[in-house]
Amino acid sequence: MTAPLQKPSTDLHSGDCREPLPYGQIPLESIQPASFLRKLRALSCATLTTKVLGYARDAMLVAVFGGGVLTDAYYAAFRILNLFRRTVGEGAVNAGFIPALEKEKAVSREHGLRFFSAAWTLIFFLSLALAALGVVFREELVKLTSYGFTVRPEQFILTAAVTAILMPHLIFVNVSALSQAALNAAGRFFLPALAPAAFSISIICYLLFINRPAAAGLPESLKIMGLAGAATLSGLIQVIILLPMLKREGFTLSFSNPFKNPATARALLLAAPAAAAMAQDQLSLFVNTIYASFLEPGSITAIYNAARIIQFPISLFAASAAAVTLPELSRHSALNKSEEFGAVLDEAFKTSALIIIPAALGLMALSLPVCRTLFEHGRFTPQQSLLTSGVLFYLSLGLVGFGINKLAASACYGAGDVKTPVKIVIFQTALNAALCFFLMRPMGVRGLALATALSSLAAAALFVRALRAKTVLPDGNPFFYLKILGASALMCAFCLWTARALAGLHPAFTVALAVPGAVAIYFGALKIFKLKERALITGGLF
């Protein structure tokens, strides 16, 4: 970081090396947890809604198209779009624009509004240029990202066509990301987080339309291209949903010269090298997609579906906590409030750990029943469920790492530190690529998932070490995490016993009985262990 975070009297960006504040002595109520938890629960509730719709969408998609060549083409193209979206859009916003927006708002409201106008102009035209380049060089992009498709010319051509159709979606989704960031900085989380549900609803409506008997004669490749068109249209719908909320906060989508605004130039310098760091999970899965294009058909679909399940606890808690804390961390950094900075970050880590750790063990124990319940419908076969569950099992090993990386990167950017996340993510990406090379041959697509998990855990260890070295992250109480591990182990044992005892029944019964029982055992164990921080999740109800 630029400097260790010290006591409130210490400037966050100075070189002062006075003794850091003993965070462990800060009472929980002194850091205003109610505000943080209220925002986190609002964002998590909206995220839960969008994720449930997302799983319905993905289940319908593989039921209609299966889990083979067609869906591999769509997901390979969508992975290209996601990489651009997470770096140029969400990544750039998180890395540079939110901290800069908070600093401008600290000067005056007018400064903040002018900065937003300049930032939106920059994001719009940059996204427009990238979308145009993506359409023109669609075949080159597919060769770069899914070279294995070149031995199957029809799949290669279809993937290139889907890539071109999806590219305009990049413009809309990046504008939406900037709009959501501005609304989050204004303290509005719930409704902005619901807007992405437009994507799932649009896809579901399209799938219902083409699944009618009247559409049975349409070529499958044409249906997949229509699916990409529906995805692109959903981006425009999302922007339209956010416009009234932006207007109420005083923000308008009016163009201005971003290079005449000094704050925009500073934000660009901050965001340019760091944007990729915010897309660390997408970079890892992007590497996996390249390798998976050489494996059996269905491998890319298995990676996508397993990653979607993994993203559920990450998005619901770690990513939501990162989104809630980034404006607050940036605000505390701008106002030199180091005590509040450390306390908010500590609470975010604890809240995420309460869910991420048991989620990792639970998904490992129930990987096959969960995959069969969610995806094994229509043209999605039991063999494809088995393949997906293997990927899910190994990705779950790295779930804790994924969560830590989200929060740690957010903390770094909130404090104005760009170099640390970039260095760590470069290391993580290189390690992931190397491990994929060695593990793909003996383990297939499961080896790619294991490589991603191991590289994410290694990156998490480096992040924690860096944060503690800069006195941003307190050492904490090890018994807090040991109690969570103990409760999670009991929960995992129950899940394994349930899966074995109900092996002869439909997997949906296993999931329906195991999940509520696992939740009850986990929180019951936390109560027996007298872990008072469980109230961060239960709200004191249990």
Q: What CA–CA distance (Å, rounded) separates 124 from 88?
A: 10
- Residues near 297 by beta carbon (within 8 Å), at least 6 away in sequence: 68, 69, 72
- Tokens at 195, concatenated: 């807007």
pLDDT band of 81, cuts 50, 70, 90 = confident
pLDDT in the model for residue 86: 66
Q: What CA–CA distance (Å, rounded) separates 362 from 493?
A: 9
Which of 256, 115, 244, 86 has the alpha carbon at shortest distance from 177? 86
Region 402-424: what's the mean pLDDT?
79
pLDDT in tens, 381-391: 899 999 999 99
Give the rounded percent of residues in the chain with a pLDDT score beyond 70. Answer: 78
Residue 473 has pLDDT above 70, yes or no: no
Which contacts qualify for 240-245: CB closer than 8 Å, 24 or more apart?
241/195, 241/198, 242/176, 242/179, 242/180, 242/183, 242/192, 242/195, 243/179, 245/179, 245/183, 245/188, 245/191, 245/192
Residue 4 has pLDDT above 50, yes or no: no
> Are 174 and 193 in contact, with CB atoms under 8 Å apart?
no
Residue type, 520: A
Q: What CA–CA distance (Å, rounded) separates 268 from 259?
A: 10
DSSP output for 472-484: SS----HHHHHHH
Region 56-66: what's the mean pLDDT?
90
pLDDT in tens, 138-170: 999 999 888 889 888 999 999 999 999 999 998
- Look at the block and give the residue holding tokens 């005056």: 108
211-239 in b/e form (b: 16+ CB < 10 A) is: eeeeeeeeeebebbbbbbbbbbbbbbbbb
- Tokens at 263, concatenated: 């704050």
- Look at the block and give the residue holding tokens 């660390």: 280
pLDDT in the model for residue 87: 62
Which of 275, 6, 322 has the alpha carbon at shortest distance from 122? 275
Residue 17 has pLDDT above 70, yes or no: no
Q: Which residue would you say has higher pLDDT here, 122 or 519?
A: 519
DSSP code of 187? T
Q: Which residue would you say has higher pLDDT here, 308 or 330?
A: 308
**Phi, psi angles (nearest 5°) of residue 288:** -60, -40
Which contacts qualify for 508-513: CB closer than 8 Å, 24 or more apart?
508/373, 510/366, 510/369, 510/373, 511/366, 511/369, 511/370, 511/373
pLDDT in the model for residue 26: 36
3-state SS class at 455: helix
Determine whether 139 is exposed, middle or buried from the number of CB atoms within 10 Å of its CB (0-12, 13-18, 19+). middle
Half-sphere exposure of 245 (CA within 13 A, CB side): 24
User: Among 88-97, 114-123, 281-290, 406-415, whose mean pLDDT is lowest?
Assistant: 88-97
Residue 328 has pLDDT above 50, yes or no: yes
Alpha helix (H) ranges present in 18-108? Answer: 33-65, 69-84, 92, 98-107
Q: What CA–CA distance (Å, rounded) separates 56 from 473?
A: 38
- Tokens at 89, concatenated: 């859009």
Q: What CA–CA distance (Å, rounded) separates 100 from 105?
A: 9
> Are 433 and 440 in contact, with CB atoms under 8 Å apart?
no
Torsion sign across C-alpha atoms 62, 68, 73, 76: positive
pLDDT in tens, 480-508: 889 999 999 999 999 999 999 998 888 99
pLDDT in the model for residue 19: 38
Q: What CA–CA distance (Å, rounded) separates 98 from 95?
A: 7
Residue 512 has pLDDT above 90, yes or no: yes
> Are 455 and 431 in contact, with CB atoms under 8 Å apart?
yes
Q: How many CB atoms are located within 10 Å of the residue 538 CB? A: 12
Q: What CA–CA distance (Å, rounded) separates 9 from 227?
A: 56
Q: What CA–CA distance (Å, rounded) separates 534 from 213?
A: 51
| 82-96, 244-258, 357-371, range with greatest mean pLDDT | 357-371
